[in-house]
Amino acid sequence: MAKITSFIMTIIMFLFPFANIPEVQVDFDSMNTDYTYVFIHGLGGWGEDQIWYDAFPYWGTFGGDMLKYLRGRGFKCVAPSVTLNGSAWDRACEAYAQLAGTRVDYGKEHSKRCNHSRYGIDYTGRAMLDKWDSENKINLMGHSFGGATMLELVELLMNGSEAERRVTAKDDLSPLFEGGKGDYVYSVTGLAAPYNGTTAVPCRDVINANKNAPFNQRLTVAAVGGIAGPVPDGRADYDCAGYDLDVDNAIALTETWHYSDDIYYFSVPCCMTDTDENGVTTCDESDFEFIYAGASTVMCSYTGTTPGGVVCDESWQPNDGLVNTKSARAPFNAKSADYEGGPAAKGIFNVYPAYRGDHMSLMGGLLNNNNIRLFYINLMVNINSL
């Protein structure tokens, strides 16, 4: 019955996207900032410039275009499109070009080392931001692998790339690789972001090794493997999202990031599992999107040590069907503190209580329709009020 009700609500929300959503008036005069929000999608996602976004928006899904809803309440929002399965580096370069209105430049050193074209789409003359500087900052929102993408972007804005500066003439160097732009960012918020990787990667091997693995587990393997795997264009196999999502590689990536004392950092982990008094973690598959239920079951029981020596013990088992709740709290090399709203500290990850939902819940869900508009209103009002 619950599934039938959810399906009926999905149809209603699809036909009448803003039905059942309370009207909200936001008082911007009482806030301290009104910076633009930049929403960066996760693996397999798409931005608002894609022709199918109006029919099926990544940010809102069957509940309707969430960005349209937020703009109607006075918030400034943009959502760039970045490579479906590209590395954090490539996606950061693509996001920067769209925001600044330049041609995508992956860097002379990076493109040669990774064996792909240096340049991508030219966004000259169609910047998403009218102004972007230390007076006109942005708030970054990154869902799933969009979290690593936005932190890679912040690192490049802050410090640029010494490797690129070393081999590139000054008049040929992308402004992104110059650095010195950390004050272009006001806040970053990770939404179910696997900062430290995910045990869904080794669990994929567990599922593949099980000849009797149920269909939903194999579906997860096919979907994740297809989306996160190497880009089939002859580039280096480490220049893709799947590589960056491996626990060892993800933690190595975080070691290249620096965290600014002038930026607010937030995280919203998700969790759809329960841990009993004996430390046993289980998931109720009926609550999950079908595609995530099988993976969550395996992640709930997985323990192991990575080749790099990271111990994935029972504390890694709570999950949202794709990302470990522990990994989504904050990069392990960053300072963090639990957070429930109100005054926040800069330079550390302010971690909200885990949102009760699976990995797509903060996008609005798929068949399990989830009204997340008020969640974002409250989150963004809080950031504007800091």
Sorted by where each begins, the domain ranges of the chain are: 88-363+380-384
- SS3 annotation, 85-136: CECHHHHHHHHHHHHHCCEEECCHHHHHHHCCCCEEEECCCCCCCCCCCCCC
Predicted confidence at residue 20, as pLDDT, reads 52
pLDDT in tens, 211-257: 888 887 877 766 666 566 677 788 999 999 999 999 999 999 999 99
Residue 232 burial (C-beta neighbours within 10 Å; 0-12, 13-18, 19+):
exposed
pLDDT in tens, 144-194: 999 999 999 999 999 999 999 999 999 999 999 999 999 999 999 999 999
Beta strands 336-338 and 349-351, pairing class:
parallel
Q: Is the dihedral of CA 125, 141, 79, 118 positive or negative?
A: positive
Contacts of 341 (CB under 8 A, 6+ apart): 378, 382
* Interatomic CA distance for residues 47 and 62, integer angstroms: 15
* Interatomic CA distance for residues 50 and 382, integer angstroms: 30
Instruction: Flag whether pLDDT at 303 surpasses 50.
Output: yes
AA identity, residue 47: G
* Interatomic CA distance for residues 372 and 70, integer angstroms: 11
Predicted confidence at residue 247, as pLDDT, reads 97
Predicted confidence at residue 227, as pLDDT, reads 65
Contacts of 171 (CB under 8 A, 6+ apart): none
Q: Which CATH class is domain 88-363+380-384?
A: alpha beta
For residue 348, is it left (φ>0), alpha (ψ between -120 and 50) or beta? beta
The residue that leads in pLDDT, 293 or 197, is 197
Predicted confidence at residue 78, as pLDDT, reads 98
Instruction: Flag whether pLDDT at 87 surpasses 80.
Output: yes
What backbone torsions phi and psi does residue 137 show, to the nearest 5 degrees?
Answer: -80, 175
Predicted confidence at residue 9, as pLDDT, reads 42
pLDDT category at 122 given cuts 50, 70, 90 is very high
pLDDT in tens, 180-215: 999 999 999 999 999 999 999 888 888 888 888 888
pLDDT in tens, 61-75: 988 999 999 999 999
Contacts of 157 (CB under 8 A, 6+ apart): 96, 176, 179, 181, 182, 184, 185
Predicted confidence at residue 224, as pLDDT, reads 65
Instruction: Flag whether pLDDT at 16 surpasses 60.
Output: no
pLDDT in tens, 268-281: 999 999 999 999 99
Q: What is the pTM of this model?
A: 0.92
For residue 115, is it left (φ>0), alpha (ψ between -120 and 50) or beta? left
With a pLDDT cut of 70, the percent of the chain lying above it is: 92
pLDDT category at 374 given cuts 50, 70, 90 is very high
pLDDT category at 284 given cuts 50, 70, 90 is confident
